Amino acid sequence: MVERTSGPDAVDGAGDAGDSGDCEGAGEAAEVLDRPLPEGVRHRVVSLVADAFGGLTVGELPPQLRQYARFTPTRRAKFAGNAMAVAVATVPAFRQRIAARLRETQSELAEAIDAGSPPAAADPVDVAAIAYVLRPTGWVKLVEAAGEEAQRVNAERAGEQVLDELRRVREELDQVRAAARSDGDRARTELEAARKEADALQRKLRSALSDVRRGEAALRKSASELEAQRAAAAAEQARGEGEARRLKAKLAETDAALEASRRAVREGRSVEDMRLRLLLDTMLDAAQGLRRELALPPASMRPADTVDAVEPGKMTPKDIAARALSDMDPALLDQLLALPQAHLVVDGYNVTKTGYPTMPLEKQRLRLLGGLAVLAAQTGAEMTCVFDGAELAAPVLLAPPRGVRVMFSKPGVTADELIRQLVRAEPPGRPVVVVSTDREVADGVAKAGARPVASALLLKRLART
């Protein structure tokens, strides 16, 4: 006999025939399941096999299931469910061992199923699963009854789900209707409020239009008053112009009278001048006659001849050296700055890198500007210190000292060019002194009329302060 199942429960005919001889007795007809094992029964069979699995030795297990011997029942059911279902259906010895374990663990239910009278309170799925493993007489009917019961339960559950879904839909519909009624009430309330607001706006609009009409009337009245005032002003202007013409005529008459008076005075003054000139000529003739009478020699000396000085041809090199100042004498800078409206322009980094090149640029600037501030206070001369802006890595936060103008050249412009611009900006004739050791700067400012001096001269002068 062959047991027919579908899927993983397919039964090998030869194996089942051998099992029927050992378990059900010789000559007893084997029952056949001619439909697929219900899914619920199958899951229950796999669970029962997974629980009974642990009571068997490795040698008692089919070869395909030995790798799952150390798994927990849950993991066996998860990873070896199909393999265990196939083994139960196709390996009679394995099914008999599982059946023996079930008779030990669930003896009462197993005995009732073997007797053909399963308890009415027992779960049909459990009864069908145990009957599938034990294979008592009538086990096929138990499995089929469990499948029908499972379908009935599933149908009842599906009906309950449909009813629950219907109730949920009805509740949602009631909620939607309530929300719609609430939204309608709110919309009607808002519409009523909008109508009231529109009425208020219309009243305000009518009031505004009335105000506009009153304003237009007032504007027309003001325009008429303005026109009347313009006419009055035009009449007043005509009267003023007539009065001005009358005053101009009277002024012309006065000017004519004044000119006649001036001519009379000039004629009288010319007579007096003629008399004074005649008297002066008489005195000059008298002086010349007196000079001839006294025989006075002509004047041979002038006031400048009385000033003591070194006579030409008698000056020695020592005398000249004693009177002149060296180009490196700080007194020369004092004399230049003592000139009226003198302007001192300093090439900043040229001076600092000549005097104290090892100091940082910031300290160089502060030291030079401090000395120039003292010099400006002593001499009263205008002073401008120019630095090259290309030397700066970042903007300089510097408070210029009193009496000293501090300037940095713009990007692309050198400090030398800025110095030449300063010299060209001064009017011709103003004394301008430029401090720089750079020969190109010195020659350029000298051509522009400035006096170049060396940086060392300024450093010597600052060292005295």
Q: Which of 114, 137, 160 is the last residue of a domain?
A: 137
End residue of a domain, out of 137, 153, 188? 137
Q: Quick one: average pLDDT of 275-304?
A: 64
> Is 460 a domain residue?
yes
Residue 120 within any structural domain of the chain:
yes
The domain tally of the chain equals 2
Q: Which of 3-17, 267-281, 342-356 has the lowest mean pLDDT?
A: 3-17
For residue range 104-130, list pLDDT tens digits in order. 888 777 777 877 777 767 777 777 778
The whole-number pLDDT of residue 306 equals 52
321 in a domain, yes or no? no
18 — pLDDT class (breaks 50, 70, 90): very low
pLDDT (tens digit, 9 = 90+) per residue, 20-58? 334 443 333 466 666 667 777 788 888 888 787 777 777
Domain span at residue 349 reads 332-464
CATH number of the domain at 341, please. Answer: 3.40.50.1010
Residue 278, domain member (yes or no): no
Domain contains 41? yes
Least confident of 2-11, 85-94, 213-222, 233-242: 2-11
pLDDT at 102: 81
Domain assignment of residue 42, yes or no:
yes
* Residue 322 pLDDT > 70: no
Residue where a domain stops, chosen among 121, 137, 153: 137
- Would 358 be classed as within a structural domain? yes
- Tell me, yes or no, whether 267 lies in a domain: no
Instruction: Report the 3 state secondary structure along the chain.
Output: CCCCCCHHHCCCHHHHHHHHHHHCCCCCCCCCCCCCCCHHHHHHHHHHHHHHHCCCCHHHCCHHHHHHCCCCHHHHHHHCHHHHHHHHHHCHHHHHHHHHHHHHHCHHHHHHHHCCCCCCCCCHHHHHHHHHHHCCCCHHHHHHHHHHHHHHHHHHHHHHHHHHHHHHHHHHHHHHHHHHHHHHHHHHHHHHHHHHHHHHHHHHHHHHHHHHHHHHHHHHHHHHHHHHHHHHHHHHHHHHHHHHHHHHHHHHHHHHHHHHHHHHHHHHHHHHHHHHHHHHHHHHHHHHHHHHHHCCCCCCCCHHHHCCCCCCCCCCHHHHHHHCCCCCCHHHHHHHHCCCCCEEEEEHHHHHHHHCCCCCHHHHHHHHHHHHHHHHHHHCCEEEEEECHHHCCCCCCCCCCCCEEEEECCCCCCHHHHHHHHHHHCCCCCCEEEECCCHHHHHHHHHCCCEEECHHHHHHHHHHC
